[in-house]
Every structure is written in C-alpha cells, then in structure tokens.
A and B are shown apart, each in its own frame.
Chain A
Amino acid sequence: MSTSNATYYIPHKATWPVLATAGFLTTLVGFANYLNGSSIGSVLMIAGLVILVVMLAGWFTLQATESETGIYNHGVGVSYRMGMMWFIFSEIMFFAVFFGTLWYTRNLSVPWLGGAGSNVATHEMLWSGFNATWPTNGPGNVGGHFEPMGAFGLPLLNTLLLLSSGVTCTWAHHGLIAKNRKQLIQGLIATVGLGFAFVLCQAFEYHEAYTEMGLTLGSGIYGSTFFMLTGFHGFHVCVGAIILSVVLFRSAKGHFTPENHFAFEAAAWYWHFVDVVWLGLFIFVYLM
C-alpha cells in the first residue's frame, strides 16, 4: 500500500479549518442556549450556520482549485479516498446505534415489559394491563393513540426514487470515464433531482404522520425510533444531495478528468451509503 511520497503535496497555513471549528462551536452553543430557553440561542445558531456555509464554500473552492491546477499527485488522492472511506465507516457505526436500539427494544425491552423471561412480577405489579406487541408507545401510552406508518405508500415510492438515483449516479460516472460530459451532467441532474424528490416525499410523509396519524417523535418508543432513524437518514440524504450539487456545478464548469475526480467518487460513495441505509430502514422500520 505504500506509495512514494517524493513529491507529496503538503498544504500550509490553513484558515478554513479554524473557521470551521468556530462555526461548529457557535452553532452548538446557540443550539444549547436555544434548548435552555435563552433568547440569544437562535441568533447564535443562525450566525454559526452562516459561518459554516461560508467556510464550506471557501474550503471546497480551495480544494477544487488545487485539484484542477494538478498539484495533487497519486499519493494525495489515495489519502483522500482513505479519509472518505473511513468517514463513511464512522457514519455506518452512527446508524448502527439506532438500528441496534430498534432491535433491542423490539426484541428485548418491550417483551420484558410484557412479562417475558423472568419479568413476570414486573409486568404484573407495574404494567399489568400492558400488551407487548409492536408497534407500541409503551405501557404508559406515551403520546396517546397513533397509527403506525405503512410501507406501501410513500415509503415504497421513496425506495424506488433512491434506488433509481443510485443507477443515474453510476450512469453519470460512466459518462465521466468515457469523457461524455453531457451524460455526466444529465446523470448528475437526475440524481440530485431524485434525491430532493425523496426529501420532498418524506416531508409529506412526516406532515401526514403529525397531522392525521397522531404519530410524533413523542409517540413512545415506536415514534422515537421511527423519527430518529428516518430523520437522521433524511438529513444525510440532504447532505449527500448538496455534495452532489457541488459536483454537478463543478462538472458544468468543466472540472474532473477520467483519471482525477476524487470529489465525484466521494460523493458517489456517500450517496450509495445513504441508499443502503435506506434499504435497511425500509426493511426494519417499515416492512417488519
């Protein structure tokens, strides 16, 4: 795996990372103040987000310019690819927590509340009326009556949207390799479009859940796991679509060659990762 680092490009005097840190810190201090009911919270949060947007635009521009002037060699490219792969691995572990939570509650804690295992006494004395079936909002009927989300309406449509976007993304990649810029741009437009269509459908789904089905984040463990998993996934779809939009913008400007297109690859990997997470969600949250 060792590569020659004879001409390895080492950047100097970075200001964007410091600004990024300031952005994260301001946003989170703002959010924490907002949660504590302080009036400066939302102001700080917006300021922090503005810093982050400026930072991302500046840092991306810098990287793109450096990449296009050809100062990165093969070794730098390998480092970037490794960085992205390990980052996606950390994201997988993040989602694993919420999938694990869903598994644990469905297979262990909810049955225990219903008296499974050696928990008969707990069930009888604390929650004797509780019928441990999934979906549930727990023995306390937390959040009141709700309807669970079915699989075959918008969720199925969303599955098709995301799977197609994976195909169009690969089609765009083939265009890039074959030096067919038109195919590259059309493929990316389709991918970004399908991605945002997914987010729109999910917004409708959430709206329906909150207004008509009584299903909220506060609907006991079912509502908690449902919105936490689909919500974080939806957030990642947005991030992925934004990254792909940047790649689309750069493609339209004539960036990327068949040999040098790390940004495209990273965006595509991320997009496929988001895709696979959705398949897990569709099976474990909606279908089962």
Chain B
Amino acid sequence: MSAVTAEHGHDDHHDDHAHGPAKGWLRWIITTNHKDIGTLYLLFALAMFFVGGAMAMIIRAELFEPGMQFVDPKFFNSMTTMHALVMVFGAVMPAFVGLANWMIPMMIGAPDMALPRMNNMSFWLLVSGVLLLASTLFMEGGAPAGGWTLYPPLVLQTGKALPFAIFSVHLLGISSILGAINIVATILNMRAPAMPLMKMPMFVWTWLITGFLLIAIMPVFAGAVTMLLTDKFFHTSFFDAAGGGDPVLYQHIFWFFGHPEVYVMILPTFGVASTIIPVFARKPLFGYSSMVYATASIAFLSFIVWAHHMFTVGMPISGELYFMYATMLIAIPTGVKVFNWTATMWKGAMTFETPMLFSISFVVLFTLGGFTGLMMAVAPVDFQYHDTYFIVAHFHYTLVPASVFILMAAGYYWMPKWTGHMYNEKIGQLHFWLSAISVNILFFPQHFLGLAGMPRRIPDYAIQFADWNMISSIGGFIFGASQLLFLWIVVDTIKGGTGEKVSNEVWEDAHKHGLEWTLPSPPPYHTFSTPPAVIPCDHD
C-alpha cells in the first residue's frame, strides 16, 4: 500500500496537510488515519476469514463420513465454537468496521473520523481480543467447546481457557463500543454542511443504526460473561438454581445481546447492497426513505424478539406467543428492502461486473435465508427444528451468501478506489460463480439434514445422514478453495492489477451516486480538509 501512496503523491497537492504517513512499519502501529486504520481492519478481517475458514474445513472433513475420522469430539466442539467466535468477532464485524473507516469520511465529506486516537485503540484492542481468544486453543483443557453462546453450566466446565475467553470478550466488547461511538460521532458531527441526514448514502445510514445497536448491546454481553466469571471463580449463584439463580437467565441476557448482534452483521450488508445495486442498474435507489425507516424498524424489533432463540427452553405459553408474533413482524421491513432492491433493478440498464453479481446473488440467497427464519419463528414448528442442521443452514444462508458475499462485493467495488488499480474481472467472475454454486451445495443439503433430525454440534452421526453430509462437505471444500482466488485478487490488485489506468469514478457514472467517486483513485492520504460544497445524491 505504501508504494501505491507514494506513486500517486502528486494527487496530494490541493489537499496537502503537511502530514504524510509515518515512515516504515511503525506507520501501521501508531496511525490515526481513517484510511490506514480501514486497511488494517480489512486485512485483519481477511486473515481471520481464512483462520475461521480453516476451522470450518476441519469440521466438514470430520463430517465427510459417519464415524470418527480426524479429530476427537472435544476438539471438534472447540472447532465449532471457535469457528463461530472467530468469524463473528474476528472476520465479519471487523470487515464492516474497516469499510466504515475507509468509506464513511469520504462519503460524507469529512477529513477523518471524529475521534482518530480512539480509532487506533479500537483496532489494537480487537487484535488483542482475538489473540487472547486464539491463545485458548493451546491451553490445558482446550479451547471453549460449549458453543459460541457460552451457555452455563456447560461452559463453566471449560479448563484453563475460561478466564481468557471471557476477557477476550471484554476486550472485543470495548473495541466494538469505542469503534461504534466513533462512527456515530463521525456521522452526526462531521457531515459536510450540504448533507442533511436524509441525503446520506444508505451505507452511512445503516452504519449509524448499527453503531447504536453496538453501543447498546456490547455492554450487555460484557455483563453476562462477567457473571459467568464470578460464578466460576467468586462463588456467586447467578446461573445456579441451588443459590436461587437460573441458567435460563443467561440465555435471556445472551440473546438480548445476540439478536441485535446478528443484525450488526446484516444491517451494513444491506447498506452496501443498497450502494452497489443502483450503480450497476444505472438507476437511483428505489424507495430511499422507506429503506431508512425499514432499517430503523429492523433495529428496533431486534431488541424485542430475543427469546425466539429459546422456544424449547421452557417458557410460559404467553411468552412463546409474544416472541413468535414479534419475530414475524421483522419480515415486513425486511420485505420492504428486498422489494426495493428488486425495484431498483427493474428496467435498469444493468451490467454484471463482479460486485453486481455478488449483490444480486445476495438478494436471492438472503431472501431464502430469511424465509427459513420465518419458518423457525413459528414456535410449535421450531420445536422440531431447534438445534438441528436446519438452523445451521438458516443462519449460514444469512451470513455467508449474504454478509460474506456482500463483503466480497464491497471488496471488488471499492478496491479500484482504494488501490488505484483494476482487479482482474475474469478471475473475479470465476470466484463469484465457484462461490455461488458451491455455497449452495454446502448449505442447501443441511436443510434436509435438519428436517430429518440431525442435531448440530456433533462430530458423528447416524448412517441415514451420510449422503447429504458428504455432498455438503464437497461443497464446503470447493467453497473454501474458491476463496483463495479472492486472496489472489487482493494481492494482485494491490501489486498493480490489470495495469489499466483507473479513473476517479471507476464505474460508469458512479460519481452521481457517491462523493467517494469524485476523489482520485487512490484518494490522497488526507481528503476533504475543507468540506465539499456540492453533494451527489442519487435519490429525491
């Protein structure tokens, strides 16, 4: 990256701030620049995507055939637990924070994030938290193996790893809270005067709401795991019925955090999709204000539906009914979004570059994941699906061909802007088609397995589940291998890509859709020292 910046140093002239990046590797440690920190977040997330992916490969290898093949059951359970924690807290969330860091100041005409020193701290706290988590893999008694939800009393049986895992959650929580405060303050305080709230790009809107969610929920998770710590080491009885506590209380607190948490991963996804689809459909985003209100409604609803994760725990029937109906309400604002994306494409002059391919397949496959969510919202039916491979299929459809695909789309879409180089479109499309086909081979059969009764989080299974598991594993291996193409693309593009000169707008007429496309590619180290007077706006 530094070579690229130096090469395009001549772009700096009108924005020169007298402050360039620090020299050498130290630049990346002490930086307060939103572009540097964005790059750090994105590269770290990419690395963790492969670490978490390697764990998934171990899981799928063990499940390739019935019987025990490669790993012992305890390690298998550690893999499912760590795969989830690494992907959620190490890959998907940091990737979106990286996009926020890079893009939000450029989209709203700000010189940087509102609190640049704190921005640096957020990133390094994230790295510390993930290191602490990864260290548990090498400890006596192994890494946490009770599932990413860390339910007591099971999780209290973890060995030496328990306090490390809990403190890792604390560090990741502080990192997320500080990062979210920074993003919210940036959006509310640093927009160019010409940009009122209802002219903000959708990506900025979704991050404003996501930031609020994060500030509200991360302390809740921190409180829950603190009680785990005191129950284990300081003789408290929060989750112990003998002392008057209740293990189900942990589940309530966890999912009060956990449900908004999954929307933390999907709302910025919606934002990126709403950014990319209009550009390649060459039309303004359909229903901008309804998109904003739908996002806010989804965020609000996310706080009042948590116990739909706990239908089988033994709740009063009135609770089951309330959480069932409240959950179904979410389909309404989500449907608004899906229809808006479709209407944006309707009669558009569409082209199908890699970012658009990923975005379209997001709309289709996320909708599928949403439908299975509706199925499980029905409490009596959920009694059959609960803790089976059906739920695994459901949330992987909302996370992999939705969040991860959109992250890929964002990578292809903005990489020319970030690096000043064009990626290889042929390899990009190959990456897309391999991913889109294999992800369905990987996850679709898991619906069948779940409906047939195969429980999740087990290393071995009955012979009747053998065929679909083998197909799913084959899909998984192809999917995993295909992601190496993306790694190749990233390295190749940073090193020069196709070599063709990239214009400011990169994509045809993109400057009509966002302020970032009016800047040089790559943008100078400091942009918008003075706020822009005119803001492109692709909606009424």
Min CB gap B197→A, angstroms: 8
Q: Are B167 and A28 in contact (CB under 8 A)?
A: yes
Q: Are A93 and B243 in contact (CB under 8 A)?
A: no
- Which of A10, A89, A98, A217: most chain B Cβ within 10 A? A10
Q: Are B163 and A32 in contact (CB under 8 A)?
A: yes
Q: Are A12 and B241 in contact (CB under 8 A)?
A: no
Q: Mark A222-235, 1 if CB is under 8 A from B, else 0.
A: 11110110000000
Min CB gap B171→A, angstroms: 6
The count of chain B contact residues (Cβ–Cβ below 8 Å) is 82
Query: Is A150 interfacial (CB-CB < 8 Å)?
Result: no
CA distance A11 to B34 in the complex (A): 11
Q: Are A96 and B249 in contact (CB under 8 A)?
A: no
Q: Are A224 and B236 in contact (CB under 8 A)?
A: yes
16 A-B pairs besides A36-B160, A217-B236, A221-B243 with CB distance below 8 A are: A3-B193, A6-B531, A8-B112, A10-B19, A12-B32, A13-B30, A17-B120, A25-B128, A28-B170, A79-B114, A82-B181, A86-B180, A104-B246, A108-B246, A137-B237, A143-B243
Q: Are A17 and B219 in contact (CB under 8 A)?
A: no
Query: Is A75 interfacial (CB-CB < 8 Å)?
Result: yes
Q: Are B189 and A79 in contact (CB under 8 A)?
A: yes
Q: Are A105 and B244 in contact (CB under 8 A)?
A: yes
Q: A21-B125, A220-B243 are in contact. Are A101 and B253 (CB under 8 A)?
A: yes
Min CB gap A48→B, angstroms: 11
Q: Are A2 and B219 in contact (CB under 8 A)?
A: no
Q: Are B118 and A13 in contact (CB under 8 A)?
A: no
Chain A to chain B contacts (Cβ below 8 Å), 30 pairs: A4-B193, A5-B190, A5-B531, A10-B32, A14-B117, A18-B29, A18-B30, A18-B124, A21-B124, A21-B128, A24-B171, A24-B174, A31-B163, A32-B164, A79-B115, A79-B189, A82-B181, A83-B185, A90-B218, A94-B220, A97-B253, A98-B223, A101-B238, A113-B241, A136-B244, A138-B242, A142-B242, A216-B235, A224-B230, A227-B236
CA distance A25 to B128 in the complex (A): 6
Cβ contacts under 8 Å, A225 to chain B: 238
CA distance A117 to B22 in the complex (A): 65
Q: Are B30 and A15 in contact (CB under 8 A)?
A: yes
Cβ contacts under 8 Å, A15 to chain B: 30
Cβ contacts under 8 Å, B193 to chain A: 2-4
CA distance A117 to B248 in the complex (A): 16
A interface residue count range (under 10 / 10 to 19 / 20 to 34 / 35 or more): 35 or more
Q: A90-B177, A94-B223, A228-B236 are in contact. Are A21 and B121 (CB under 8 A)?
A: yes
Query: Is A139 interfacial (CB-CB < 8 Å)?
Result: yes
Cβ contacts under 8 Å, B128 to chain A: 21, 24-25
Query: Is A283 interfacial (CB-CB < 8 Å)?
Result: no
Min CB gap A45→B, angstroms: 12
Query: Is A72 interfacial (CB-CB < 8 Å)?
Result: no
Query: Is A20 interfacial (CB-CB < 8 Å)?
Result: yes
Query: Is B192 interfacial (CB-CB < 8 Å)?
Result: yes
Q: Are A82 and B114 in contact (CB under 8 A)?
A: yes
Query: Is A87 interfacial (CB-CB < 8 Å)?
Result: yes
Query: Is B245 interfacial (CB-CB < 8 Å)?
Result: yes
Q: Are A117 and B316 in contact (CB under 8 A)?
A: yes
Q: Are A83 and B115 in contact (CB under 8 A)?
A: yes
- Which 6 A/B pairs are nearest by Cβ-Cβ distance? A140-B242, A97-B223, A138-B244, A218-B235, A221-B244, A17-B121
Q: Mark A119-138, 1 if CB is under 8 A from B, else 0.
A: 00000000000000000111
Q: Are B32 and A13 in contact (CB under 8 A)?
A: yes
Query: Is A254 interfacial (CB-CB < 8 Å)?
Result: no
User: A76's closest neighbor in chain B, by CB?
Assistant: B114
Q: Mark B109-132, 1 if CB is under 8 A from A, else 0.
A: 011101111101100110110011
Q: Are A142 and B188 in contact (CB under 8 A)?
A: no
Q: Which of B163, B180, B245, B248 contacts A138 (CB 8 A)?
A: B245
Q: Which of A3, A4, A143, A221 contacts B245 (CB 8 A)?
A: A221
Query: Is B216 interfacial (CB-CB < 8 Å)?
Result: yes
Cβ contacts under 8 Å, A25 to chain B: 128, 131-132, 171
Q: Are A16 and B117 in contact (CB under 8 A)?
A: yes
Query: Is A78 interfacial (CB-CB < 8 Å)?
Result: yes
Cβ contacts under 8 Å, A16 to chain B: 117
Min CB gap A208→B, angstroms: 19
Cβ contacts under 8 Å, A140 to chain B: 242-243
Q: Are A75 and B189 in contact (CB under 8 A)?
A: yes
Q: Mark B216-237, 1 if CB is under 8 A from A, else 0.
A: 1111101110010110011111
Query: Is A1 interfacial (CB-CB < 8 Å)?
Result: yes
Query: Is A162 interfacial (CB-CB < 8 Å)?
Result: no
CA distance A101 to B166 in the complex (A): 19
Q: Which of A5, A117, A217, A221 contacts B111 (CB 8 A)?
A: A5
Min CB gap B135→A, angstroms: 9
Cβ contacts under 8 Å, B237 to chain A: 137-138, 142, 218, 220-221, 223-224
Q: Are A139 and B241 in contact (CB under 8 A)?
A: yes
Cβ contacts under 8 Å, B526 to chain A: 10
CA distance A94 to B19 in the complex (A): 39
Cβ contacts under 8 Å, B219 to chain A: 90-91, 93-94, 97
